[in-house]
Chain A
Amino acid sequence: MRRALTALAIALVLAGSALFAVERQWRARGYTPIIVDAPDLWSLQRAKASYSERPIVFLGASRTLYAIDRATMRARLPAYEPVMLAMDGRYPLATLRDLAADPDFRGLVVCDIDGAGFAAPSLDMQKPEVDYYHREFSPSRAAHRLLLNHWQLNAAIARSDFSLLRSAVRWWNGEGEPFRPYQWLDRRRFGHIDYDRGNTEAQKRELAANLERFGGHLPRIPFNEWWPQVENANAWVRAIQARGGDVIFYASPTSGQRRWAEGDWFPRAEYWDKMAAATTAKTLFSLDVAALRDFPLPDDSHIDYRQKPAYTNALIDALIERGWVTTAAANNSDAVLAEQPQSLVPGT
C-alpha cells in the first residue's frame, strides 16, 4: 500500500506542477480558456430542442451563431427556451429536415438562410452533426461534454492548439504562437465576435477575390435546379407546423459589397420572393426592417459582440410587430400562439 500511495503522491505533485506551469505560461502570453465547438456540444443543444417545452431554435451559419444574445432573448421572450443550432460556415437545411422528422419537436424555428442556402450543394452541410446526434451521441457523451465544458472554461490548456503535438509541429515548422481567436462561444453555443481584436477586412477581401475570379458576378444557380430544395423545405415546414410548431425563414442583414453581391447572385424577386409566396413558413427579409437593414456590420456580414443585445432587440421587435412570437410568460402563452396568423406576405 505504501508503494502505491507514494507513487500516486509523486505523480500527482509532478503532473500537477507541470500542468500548472504550462497553464501559467500560456495565460501570461494573453491566452484565456475558451469553449471549443464540437459535435457533442451541438448535440446537447439539439437534444434540448426536442425536450424543451417551448424552444425557439436558431438555425443558420455564423451570422446567427455570433449575433443572437441569449440574455436578451430570455428577458424579452420568457416563454421560450433559446436553442442555438447554427454552425459556423454551414447552411442549415439538414438540421431543419431533422427537426421536421422529430416527433418531439414542436418549437419555433428561426432559420437564417439566403438564396445560396437553398441550393443543392448547401443541403447536407450540417448533416454530419445531425448524423452524429442520432448515431453516436449518448447519455454518456452528454455527461462527458458537460464535464468538459467546465474544464474548457477553466483551463487554457484544454485548447488543442496547445497540445503536445501542435506545439511540436509549430516548433518543427518554425511557426509563431497559436492563433488568437477573436470569436468564442459560451457553453450553450451562443457566440461572440470581438472586432477590436479581429480582422474586419479579411472577409471583404475574400469576397472581392471571389468576385474577381468570376469576372465580377458569382455564377447563378438556375432556378429549376434551386426550386426542388425549396419544395422539400416547404414539406419540412408543414411537418413542423402540423405538430404545432412553426418556422420563420429569415434573411439576416448584410452591407457593402456583400449586400450587393448577394443581391446580384440570387436576385430577391427571382428567388426569395418566389419562395416566400410558396411556403407556409413565415418569411422575414431583413432589408425590409429599418432597424435591421442599417445595423452596423464591421465586416459587412457579422455583428460585434457589443452590438448583440441591440441586434437581438431589433429582431425581437420585428417578430413581435408581426405577431409571430409572444412576450407573455410560459404559462399563458398558448393562447397568444393560437391567435397567430397562418401565413404572412414576406417583408410586410
Chain B
Amino acid sequence: MTFDSLTFVVFFIVVVAMFNLPGLSWSARKNILLAASFLFYGAWNPPFLLLLIGSASVDWWLALRMASARPQRRRPWLIVSLVANLGLLGFFKYGDFLRDNTRALLAIVGVDWQPAAFDILLPVGISFYTFQSLSYCIDVYRGEVRAQKSLRDYLLFVGFFPQLVAGPIVRYHDFSAQLHTPRRTTADGFTLGLSLLLIGLFEKIVLADSVFAPVADPIFKAGATIDSAGAWTGTIAFAGQIFCDFAGYSTCAIGCAAMLGFWLPDNFRSPYAAAGFSDFWRRWHISLSTWLRDYLYVPLGGNRGGTWFTLRNLMLTMLLGGLWHGAAWTFVAWGAFHGLMLVLERVSKPAIDAASRLLGGLGTLLGGLLTLLGVLVAWVWFRAPDFAHAAQIHIAMFTPGADSNPLGAEAKIALIMFGALWSMHWLLRHHDLRRWLRQRGAVSLGLIWAVLIVAIVLSPGVSRAFIYFQF
C-alpha cells in the first residue's frame, strides 16, 4: 500500500478510528497497530509478509539469547544475526548482481559459466527493515538497549506501517519508550500530522510525479538523444524528483505516525541548501547516514586512526552506502563520488575555513552552489541505467553545443519549480518544519491545507512507485 493511493486514505481513516476507540487498553491498541501494519505490508505482496515476520522474529529471538548470555558469549549470536540479515538482503537484493559479476569474472579467466536467471522479486522495503532490525541486534550486543521480551512489541517496532517500507530508519531506543507509554491521537498530533501528510503528498504527487518526473525520465531512458540543455534540465529535474519523492514519503510517514501519537525522527533538513558534502549528509536521508556512521564508520575506526585511516573509512562507508541503494555499479560510482568529495573536503578543510572567514555569507552561498553542482553531477550516476549512459549525459552537460533543442514548457516549469525548491531550502535551512507548523493559527493552517488539497486533487496522472521502494 502506498501513501498516495485511495486505498491508503480509506485504510488510514479506519485505522485512526479503531486506534482511538474508547475503552481500549494500550495492549489492544498495539494489537490494532500491528494488525494494520501487517495488512499495509501484505496488501502489496502477501507472501512477503511471512518473510518480514520470520526475519524479525529471528532477530527478536537472537537478541533475547544475546541478552541472556554473558558479554563474552554474545558474539556468536550477533554473527548469526549478521549472517541472517545480510544473507537475506544479499539473496533478494544482490543475487542477480553477484551472479552477473561472478560470470563476468570467470569469463576473464576463460571459464564460460551460464547460470540460470534468478528473476527474484525484491520485497519492498527490505533494505529498511533489515537495517532497522540489525541495528537493534547490534545495540543489544553492545549492551546499549535492553532486549524486548514481547514479540508483539518487537514486530511493531520493525513493522510499524508509517515507516516500514521506506523509512525513516528508526532506532530501537527512540521507539521503545513510545511502545511502553500509552498513546492516542491528540489535537496537536492530528494537526501536525495532517499538515505533514498533506505536504508529503504534495511533494510526491504534484512535484515529483507531475512536474519533475516527465522531464527527467526521457533523458535517462536507454537510447535517448541528449543535448547539453536537455542533460542539465533532465538532471536538475531528477534532483527535484528524487528529493520530492523520498522526502515526500518520509514526511508522510512522520505525519501518519504523529496522527497516531508517535514521533519519528527527521529524515531531511533542506539538503539542497547544504554548504559542503558533510553538511549534505547531515541533511539528506539522515536516518541512513547516522546508521552508516554508527554501525559502519565508527566500527571501522572512524577518525581515530590518523588522516589516511579516516579517509579510507570515509570512502568505504560511502561505497557501501552507494551499494545499499541498489545492486549496480552505477550506485557504487555514486557512492564513490560522494566519498571522494568528503575526502577532498576533509583534506582541504583549512583552506575552506579560511575562505569562509574571508567571504562570510557569500562564501556559504558559493559553497552551497558548488555542493549543489557536485550533488547534481552525482545524481547522473544514481539514475542512469549504465555507465555508458551516465558518461553520455556528462559529456553532453560539459560540452555545450549549438545544436541544443529549445526547452519545452514542461522543462521550463520544472526548472522554475526546482529554483523555488532550492530557494525554500535556503530560506528554511536553519528552521524546523514541525515547529513552524505548530506556530500557525487555525486560519492560516486551513488555508495551507486547502491549497495543498486542491493541488493534489488537480494533479491526476501516472501514478509512479516511490523511488526508494526499490531500495
Contacts and interface: CB of A to CB of B under 8 A. Distances in A.
- Do they bind each other? yes
Interface of A: 1-4, 6-12, 14-15, 18-19, 22, 36, 38, 40, 135-136, 138-141, 143-144, 147-148, 151, 157-160, 162-165, 168-169, 172-173
A156 B72 CA distance: 68
Given A136-B465, A165-B211, A10 B459 contact: no
Given A135-B121, A140-B1, A6 B43 contact: no
Contacts of B443: 6-7, 10
A140 B121 CA distance: 17
A196 to B, nearest CB: 28
Contacts of A14: 446-447, 450
A10 B2 contact: no
A135 B187 CA distance: 40
Contact of B43 (A9, A138, A159): A138
Interface stretch (B3-11, B18-26, B330-338, B381-389): B3-11
B7 A140 contact: yes
Interface stretch (B173-181, B217-225, B297-305, B405-413): B405-413
B43 A163 contact: no
B453 A11 contact: yes
A2 B6 contact: no
Contacts of B42: 139
A17 to B, nearest CB: 9
Contact of A159 (B5, B190, B409, B460): B460
A138 to B, nearest CB: 5
A163 B6 contact: no
Contact of B454 (A9, A10, A18, A147): A18
A242 to B, nearest CB: 24
A294 to B, nearest CB: 41
B187 A147 contact: no
B413 A11 contact: no
Contact of B449 (A8, A36, A164): A8
Contacts of A144: 5-7
B365 interface: no
A65 B456 CA distance: 31
A10 B442 contact: yes
The 10 closest A-B pairs by CB, nearest first: A10-B446, A11-B449, A140-B43, A14-B450, A6-B442, A147-B6, A172-B409, A15-B453, A7-B445, A144-B5
A40 B7 CA distance: 13
B454 A173 contact: no
Contacts of B447: 10-11, 14
A79 to B, nearest CB: 31
B13 interface: no
Nearest to B195: A7
- Among B5, B190, B455, B460, the one with the most A-chain Cβ atoms within 10 Å of its Cβ is B460
Nearest to A150: B6
Contacts of A139: 42-43, 46
B413 A169 contact: yes
Interface string B373-417: 000000000000000000000000000000000000110110000
B46 to A, nearest CB: 7
A7 B412 CA distance: 34
B202 to A, nearest CB: 11
Contacts of A40: 463
B34 interface: no
Contacts of B1: 140
Contacts of B45: 138
Contacts of B306: none
A15 B458 contact: no
Nearest to B455: A164
B44 interface: yes
Contacts of A157: 457-458, 460
B210 interface: yes
B441 interface: yes
A169 B409 contact: yes
- Among A22, A141, A159, the one with the most B-chain Cβ atoms within 10 Å of its Cβ is A141
Contacts of B121: 135
Contacts of A148: 6
B278 interface: no
Given A8-B449, A169-B413, A3 B206 contact: no
Interface in B1-57: 1-2, 5-8, 10, 42-46
- Among B413, B442, B461, the one with the most A-chain Cβ atoms within 10 Å of its Cβ is B442
B457 A140 contact: no
B206 A169 contact: no
B14 to A, nearest CB: 12
Nearest to A134: B121
B304 to A, nearest CB: 45
A70 to B, nearest CB: 25
A7 B457 contact: no
B191 interface: yes
A158 B457 CA distance: 8
Contacts of B211: 165
A114 to B, nearest CB: 28
A3 B191 contact: yes
A160 B460 contact: yes
Contact of A140 (B2, B190, B409, B460): B2
Contact of A8 (B43, B206, B446, B463): B446
A22 B43 contact: no
B210 A163 contact: yes
Contacts of B44: 138, 140
A3 B442 contact: yes
A15 B455 CA distance: 9
Contacts of B409: 168-169, 172-173
Nearest to A160: B461
Contacts of B206: 164
B9 to A, nearest CB: 8
A14 B455 CA distance: 12
B458 A162 contact: yes
A36 B5 CA distance: 16
Contacts of B190: 4
6 contacts: A10-B445, A14-B446, A139-B43, A141-B5, A163-B210, A169-B410
A151 B458 CA distance: 12
A97 to B, nearest CB: 15
Contacts of A3: 187, 191, 441-442, 445
B460 A18 contact: no
A135 B44 CA distance: 10
- Among B2, B441, B445, B450, the one with the most A-chain Cβ atoms within 10 Å of its Cβ is B450
B45 to A, nearest CB: 6
B453 A147 contact: no
B458 A22 contact: yes
